[in-house]
Amino acid sequence: MSAAARDLPSGGPLAPTLDELRAAVDVAAGRRPADLRLTGARLLNVFTGEVEAVDVDVAGRLVAAVTPAGAGGAPDAADEIDLAGAHLAPGLIDGHLHVESSLVTPAAYARAVLPRGVVGGINDPHEIANVAGLEGVRWWLAFAGDLPFDLWTAAPSCVPSTALETAGAELGVGEIDELLAHPRVVGVAELMSFPDVVAGDFEQLAKVAVAEHVGKTTEGHAPGLGGRALQAYLAAGIGSDHESTSLEEGREKLAAGAFLMVREGSVTRDLDALLPLVTPRHADRIGFVTDDRLPHDLLAEGAVDVLVRRAIAAGVDPVYAVRCASWNTALHYRLPRRGAVAPGYFADLLVIDDLRAFRVARVLRHGRWVAEGGRLTEAAERALADAAAAAERRPEAAGLRSSVRLPDLGDGTLRMAAPEAGRRVRVLRPLPGQVVTEATTAVPKVVAGEVVADPERDLLKVACVHRHGRPAPGTGVGLGLVQGLGLRRGALASSVGHDHHNLMLVGADDDAMRRAALRVAELGGGFVVDDGERVVAELALPIAGLVTAAPLEEVVVDLDALDAAVRALGGSGSDAFMTLSFLGLAVIPALRVTDHGLVDVVAARLVPLAV
């Protein structure tokens, strides 16, 4: 070859080098022994829809050749494994997820899902972006670079979510454009600001345009949108949607050209409703995603493998079910050499010993075994630990570990002045199992000219405390009343508060609220339960106040302790923390509390306590 060619880029950091390509070609051609040969496999071929009896030769990180079983014609491999008729499938890719929802780092997330056959996913680090902006997203990206797991990233598009809150950072079109240059960034993440898009807002259209300019996608988020509004949203150039909850909604979006992501999260579970659309007739247009999965569900049920398993159980052709969590997603996002078991593709594949149950026996990732029998291999454990340690040493790490910076919570800051006697005040009422809240009213209990909690009527005080150390209106504390959490005493505090991730507080007395808040600050973030006298349970989330580096199993133990502590106070359990985290979500109706104060979401403005 010419010197010029040798100096040319070799596919970028995510593509094979010329030497790797040559090795794969040599192995395929039979001139060089494979590093690994898998014989007697039944391959789920995502290109033909067939199951084929094959042998697979692996060269380094790549699949070199897929040949008819027993065809031979190449030298003995360095390592050969007879799969004895087990099925083989490409590694699974989750089309849309928020790792932060699992409360752990990408390393801990990968640790939990690799043994299930999930080798990558498209992560929207929307939460960490709201806390730590570009810095946070960059840390996530750099961190993920070392993982034996493909954590692709979509650039968070709506930071902050609204002007009625103070998030930890802002990401404008310029910052999004900057992120799009990173090879692991596949596009712009779900444009949740769908009313603005439908209204033709230039800022939103510019986000689509900058992605298109570099040949990347813009993902959608349009819950319940249909008719001309859906057409307007997609006309902007948005390529997907993962918010369909009914068959009709899914069908309309599919027909309108959206890549239809079928979601099975922890809270929102859409597979059953959308199942009739999951058919080979819809070819490349369907992808499987989890969006948000909570720690317990990840451990007990799984991640995007859940969709494959449940789709197969419901009668979907297994090859197509796998395709929806591999090739279709790789194609939609243009992931290079991923999503299939074929020559030239990265050797990410699953040995499946029971296809009906989709039981994954072994997982090969980039040519190395990362899991066997549901457990990580030692090499994979080491690689994950190394990646986590390297992440800790990065310069961004310190800032992320000191993200909870509270204002003074001394006398008066949690105080709500009473309105004139008998006047009703606004009350947030979360609906069980839903993210929307009702706005109701009540005549409050008043003590010494101050509105106080009244646990007898299940009326608690709720506060949103600015925790990012940025200029926030007034004292940085928004206050209100909430009904439905059931606490008889004590308080809960959380540094997870969608989407701004200010400190969310609820309680029966101010002292307990203050104690819980300060304990969260001491932990650098987390969930805390105070029983009215002292802190009785906690989960530290010291990274950006959102996640921990601990393994998922430990998180679940702490969550169980929190659950018991909340129940002892009269609440429903640890799901109270999820409810609490959504009480500040000022983009979903009806009444919310942010660090700016009480927000009437439908009117899109601040409102006073008194009606």
Least distance in Å: CB of 6 to its own copies? 7
| Dihedral angle sign, alpha carbons of residues 106, 110, 112, 117 | positive
Is residue 18 near its own copies by the rule CB under 8 A? yes
Distance of CA 112 to the CA centre of its chain: 14
Residue type, 30: G
Nearest distance in Å: CB 249, its own copies = 14
Q: Quickly tell me which residue has 């009117």 as its tokens.
A: 603
Instruction: Indicate which single residue of 331, 409, 462, 598 sits in contact with its own copies (rule: CB under 8 A).
Output: 331
34 binds its own copies (CB under 8 A): no
Which residue reads 């040519």 in tokens?
367
For the sheet with 503-507, list strands across it. 437-442, 425-430, 477-483, 459-465, 503-507, 491-494, 526-530, 535-540
User: Is residue 2 a contact point for its own copies (CB under 8 A)?
Assistant: yes
Residue 71 interacts with its own copies (CB under 8 A): yes or no: yes
CB of 446 to its own copies, least distance (A): 46
* Amino acid found at 225: L
Q: Is 443 in the site for its own copies (CB under 8 A)?
A: no
Q: Is 380 in the site for its own copies (CB under 8 A)?
A: no
53 binds its own copies (CB under 8 A): no
Among 69, 231, 473, 532, binds its own copies (CB under 8 A): 231
* Binding segment toward its own copies, per CB under 8 A, in 170-178, 348-356, 415-423, 551-559: 170-178
**Residue 89: CB partners within 8 Å, gap ≥ 6?**
43, 44, 117, 322, 326, 341, 349, 350, 352
DSSP one-letter string for 485-501: S--SS-EEEES--TTTT
Q: Give the DSSP H/E element, type plus range, for residue 152.
A: strand 150-155
Binding residues for its own copies restricted to 256-275, rule: CB under 8 A: 256-257
**Contact range with its own copies by CB under 8 A, out of 130-138, 203-211, 241-249, 502-510:** 203-211
Pairing of strands 150-155, 185-191: parallel
Q: Quick one: which segment of 196-204, 262-270, 292-300, 594-602 binds its own copies (CB under 8 A)? A: 196-204
Residue from 75, 85, 280, 608 in contact with its own copies (CB under 8 A): 280
22, 375, 382, 534: which one binds its own copies (CB under 8 A): 22
Residue number with CB closer to its own copies (212 or 554): 212
- Tokens 């598009």 belong to 157
Residues 283-312 within binding reach of its own copies (CB under 8 A): 283-285
* CB contact set of 105 (below 8 Å; sequence gap of 6+): 99, 143, 388, 391, 543, 547, 548, 549
Q: Which of 40, 223, 344, 407 binds its own copies (CB under 8 A)?
A: 344
Residue 234 interacts with its own copies (CB under 8 A)?
A: yes
The residue within the footprint of its own copies, chosen from 229, 275, 299, 607 (CB under 8 A), is 229
Q: Check residue 232 for interaction with its own copies (CB under 8 A).
A: yes
- Which residue is listed with tokens 């050797």? 347
Is the separation of the CB atoms in 598 and 480 below 8 Å? yes
> Which of residues 52 and 353 has its CB atom nearest to its own copies in the complex?
52
Query: What residues between 484 and 523 interact with its own copies by CB under 8 A?
Result: none
